[in-house]
Amino acid sequence: MPRLSAEFLTGDAVDTPYWWEAAKPSPASLDEFPARAEVAIVGAGFTGLNAAIVLARAGKQVHVFEAEAPGFGASSRNGGLLGPGWAFFDGAVKQYGLDVARRVLEESAEALEHVKQTVTRENIECDLKVVGYFKGAISPRAYDKLGHMIDRISKAAACDAYMVPRVEQHAEIGTDLYHGGVVMPGYAGLHPAKYVKGLADAATRLGVKIHSNARVSDLSSTINGFRFKVNGRDMTASQVLLATNGFSGTVSPYLKRRIMPIGSGIIATEPLPPEVMDRLMPKRRMLAGSQRVVTYYRPSPDGTRIVFGGRVLDMSGKEKINVANARYLRSLLLQVFPELESTKISHYWHGLLGFTFDHFPHVKNIDGVFFAGAYNGTGVARASWLGKKVAHQMLGLPEGKTVYSDLKFSGRPYFNGTSWFLPIAVRYYGLLDKWEKR
Ligand SMILES: Cc1cc2nc3c(=O)[nH]c(=O)nc-3n(C[C@H](O)[C@H](O)[C@H](O)COP(=O)(O)OP(=O)(O)OC[C@H]3O[C@@H](n4cnc5c(N)ncnc54)[C@H](O)[C@@H]3O)c2cc1C
């Protein structure tokens, strides 16, 4: 396992996800690729595997092609936070109107329910727990803004979020960084690598063939379906689903012009004494700050460590860069919890998010090829939900209707797959955050 070394890291620090200690993505047994598949799914993450389960239950013969191992993408690397999606309300109203915004909220709630039901039905042990979420306001103005947002949402939908003033904040989180914040009680946390492994096992039990180390390329349509290559070998399928999200690369020129791959990194601390965890995270909630340059964090499912994530720009994977990214994330962690100065970091890892210009996911039929993805950094519940929705669309069922098929999926003339403007945007939003904090 690749090791990292620096004075703030444990002696055995690694650059692989903490989650992989319990559930490392491992190659599925290599069945021979058939020459033809009824349904081919590209990508074995939350989207592809949820779709595979629905399609297999409907009697389809499903092959999932994964360039690495099942769950290797964002699905085994994320923070494992899943919530009611209220953060998307204002953006939806602004771009698409109140009706669409209501549907976004409705589907966010349904997505959360879908994950709970799937975990129960498929008997997946993934530490799923409704623990609530606290978002800290970085300034008094940010606190007011959060309060107004909750007021607007409450007028449009049932909303049990409530504000916590600064004087009561230590009941939620042991920091003085924030000026109060908002609690969203229905929020949940899970162990993402266990969840995605459980999905892969469930799909396999239903007869789905998952092929690892199987990279799909050269996708084109034929008279009665699609032709593509898997590791250079020709294959055909009647239906194809692209479930590649931020890892889409060049698999589709259409997606390349519309999905911005953006990096997110996470560190995990060494185990902390229970009394420290009780003080810093007394309710063991999911947590975040209100900054534009996002930070999100949580206790590990066993409650012993802090898992802390934020934006990272260089994902080249070089040891020097990984150490620099870990150092940067640790500096953000110390802004929240200065008392962790002498705590060491045991894991650093990163993964790719798929962003869009409207900041919403999309479910599309692109000249016959189905696509669901672009979760804009919030995909644990939504990828699971839209995997199910797109599968229903592939089956021609009315249940496949989703608001995310009705939104305009646009690119920009200056964008062709490389998020070259990201460093400028992160610096700009960082400056706005600093300004707001002052
Ligand atoms: C560091 C990080 C933290 C995050 N934290 C959260 C969080 O706390 N809460 C939340 O809701 N969301 C979070 N997310 C987002 C969430 O993880 C994703 O939205 C979700 O996992 C997307 O699932 P997916 O199945 O669509 O894509 P992925 O899990 O990324 O799977 C796509 C797969 O496609 C494969 N692939 C790509 N191209 C090909 C090809 N040509 N052939 C074959 N296979 C291919 C890739 O190898 C990959 O495994 C986070 C993401 C990251 C990276």
- 3-class SS of residue 14: strand
pLDDT of residue 419: 77
Closest CA to 86 of 98, 99, 104, 100: 104
Report how many domains make up the chain: 1
- Residue 233 forms part of a structural domain: yes
Let me know if 122 is exposed, middle or buried by CB neighbors in 10 A (0-12, 13-18, 19+).
Answer: middle
In a domain, 2, yes or no: no
Mean pLDDT for 50-58 is 98
* pLDDT interval class at 19 (50, 70, 90): very high
Any ligand 1 atom below 6 A from CB of 82:
yes
Given a contact cutoff of 8 angstroms between Cβ atoms, the answer to whether 384 and 115 are in contact is yes
CA atoms within a 13 Å half-sphere pointing along the CA-CB vector of 177: 23
Q: Whose CA is nearest to atom 21 of ligand 1?
A: 75
pLDDT above 90 coverage of the chain, percent:
83
Separation between Cα atoms, residue 34 and residue 237, nearest integer Å: 10
Tens digit of each residue's pLDDT (9 = 90 or more) over 345-359: 999 999 999 999 999
Is there a domain that residue 3 lies in? no
Residue whose CB lies within 8 A of the most ligand 1 atoms, among 114, 219, 353, for a mutation test: 353
Residue 29: the pLDDT is 67
3-state secondary structure string, 358-387? CCCCEEEEECCEEEEECCCCCCHHHHHHHH
CA of 45 to the centre of ligand 1 (A): 6
Report the pLDDT value the prediction gives residue 2, as an integer from 0 to 100.
65
Q: Which atom of ligand 1 is nearest to the CA of 349?
A: 1
Distance 339 CA to ligand 1 centre (A): 33
What does the pLDDT look like over 81-101, one tens digit per residue? 998 888 899 999 999 999 999
Q: Which atom from ligand 1 is nearest to the alpha carbon of 246?
A: 30
Report the separation in Å between the CA atom of 354 and the middle of ligand 1, taken as the mean of its atom positions. Answer: 8
Tell me how far the alpha carbon of residue 426 lies from the centroid of ligand 1, in angstroms.
Answer: 21
Is residue 411 in some structural domain?
yes
Instruction: Answer whether 263 contacts ligand 1 (Cβ < 6 A).
Output: no
Contact 349, 15 (CB under 8 A): yes
Cα of 155 from ligand 1 centre, angstroms:
33
- For residue 4, being part of any structural domain is answered with no
Give me the phi and psi of 270, to 5 degrees please.
Answer: -65, 165
Evaluate whether residue 1 is within a structural domain.
no
Residue 265 Cα: closest atom of ligand 1: 1
Range of the domain at 65: 9-437
DSSP state of 34: P
Strand partners, 3: 14
Chain-wide mean pLDDT for the chain? 94
Q: Is 245 in the pocket of ligand 1 (CB under 6 A)?
A: yes
What's the CATH code of the domain at 29?
Answer: 3.50.50.60
Any domain includes 335? yes
Q: Are 394 and 370 in contact (CB under 8 A)?
A: yes
pLDDT at residue 404, as a whole number = 98
- Which pLDDT does position 88 carry in this prediction? 92
